């Protein structure tokens, strides 16, 4: 009896419910007949990420960037805004800053990511327009765009067919190659500022080889993006993550397009 009194006076909130009298048979039957528990729904848990979400958001981001690029070229050629190509560097800086914010905050904010797409569109449109204005380089922008989309579709097929598997070793290899490329380009930039030409970006044979290597690495990095998307879908990531993956794919597309454009310029110059 003393033992029961101590238990009934427990200070543990989880145990206080047991201080009520024993339920009757009728009460127990009513409890048994109650419907099973249905977890509450919240806005964040309403829908999980799907492939369609990623495709739709990626298409949106790419189209916004493409329209921004075409508008930049049109405004320059039609002389409506003749100095718009001067926005190339500011647009590149804005795009870089927005990319850093999205990456470090792992943001899925549509406004932020679409703003990045607009900035990159102005940058790419300006760069493409400048190349197109060089004699003998007409049509180079369309060629670079077609090649970029071809590589993207090709790598998607490669991933879906399992021709190249994304293993931890493969991931480390691609990340290592990216770090090596960035390091080389930074060293080359510093060397050029100091008046020394390493031949990395002068259009010669070495430049062509380096561009081809960069294009291959950029293309293979799509496999990492596809694998990350598939993993997120399997893990039940929220549908809003589609914006972040669209941004990730856009970053790689921009990198690939610029390098293909550069390679085509080398080949045309020679």
pLDDT tens by residue, the chain, 270 residues: 444 444 444 443 344 443 444 545 555 455 445 544 444 444 444 689 999 999 999 999 999 999 999 999 999 988 888 888 999 999 999 999 999 999 999 999 999 999 999 999 999 999 999 999 998 899 999 999 999 999 999 999 999 999 999 999 999 999 999 999 999 999 998 998 898 888 888 888 999 999 999 999 999 999 999 999 999 999 999 999 999 999 999 999 999 999 999 999 999 887
Q: What would the two tokens of residue 193 be?
A: 């500022």
- d(CA 36, CA 248) in angstroms, rounded, equals 42
Q: What would the two tokens of residue 262 be?
A: 């550069």
pLDDT of 26 reads 55
pLDDT of 11 reads 40
pLDDT of 79 reads 84
Residues 143/267, Cβ–Cβ less than 8 Å: no
In 51-123, beta strands by DSSP E:
none
Tell which residue, 262, 247, 254, has the closest CA to residue 107. Answer: 247
Residues 73/121, Cβ–Cβ less than 8 Å: no
Report in angstroms the alpha-carbon separations of 191 from 144, 187, 199: 28, 6, 10
pTM over cut 0.85? no
pLDDT of 232 reads 94
Sequence-separated (6 or more) residues with CB below 8 Å from residue 242 = 49, 53, 54, 56, 57, 58, 108
pLDDT of 47 reads 86
- Domain ranges for the chain, please list them: 47-269
């Amino acid at each position: 009896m003393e033992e029961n009194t101590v238990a009934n006076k427990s200070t543990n909130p989880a145990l206080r419910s047991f201080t009520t009298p024993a339920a009757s048979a009728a009460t127990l039957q009513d409890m048994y007949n109650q419907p099973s528990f249905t977890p509450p729904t919240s806005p964040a848990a309403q829908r999980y990420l799907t492939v369609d979400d990623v495709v739709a958001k990626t298409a949106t981001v790419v189209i916004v960037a493409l329209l921004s690029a075409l508008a930049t070229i049109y405004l320059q050629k039609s002389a409506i805004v003749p100095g718009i190509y001067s926005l190339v560097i500011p647009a590149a800086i804005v795009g870089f800053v927005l990319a850093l914010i999205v990456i470090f905050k792992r943001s899925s904010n549509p406004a932020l990511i679409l703003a990045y797409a607009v900035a990159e569109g102005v940058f790419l449109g300006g760069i493409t327009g400048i190349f197109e204005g060089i004699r003998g380089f007409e049509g180079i922008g369309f060629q670079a765009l077609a090649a970029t989309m071809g590589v993207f579709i090709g790598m998607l097929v490669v991933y879906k067919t399992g021709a190249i598997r994304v293993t931890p070793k493969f991931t480390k290899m691609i990340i290592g190659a990216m770090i090596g490329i960035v390091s080389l380009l930074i060293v080359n930039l510093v060397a050029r500022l100091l008046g020394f030409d390493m031949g990395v970006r002068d259009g010669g044979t070495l430049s062509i080889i380096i561009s081809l290597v960069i294009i291959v690495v950029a293309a293979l990095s799509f496999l990492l993006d596809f694998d990350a998307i598939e993993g997120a879908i399997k893990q039940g990531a929220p549908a809003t993550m589609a914006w972040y993956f669209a941004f990730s794919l856009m970053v790689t597309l921009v990198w690939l397009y610029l390098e293909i454009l550069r390679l085509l310029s080398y080949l045309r110059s020679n």
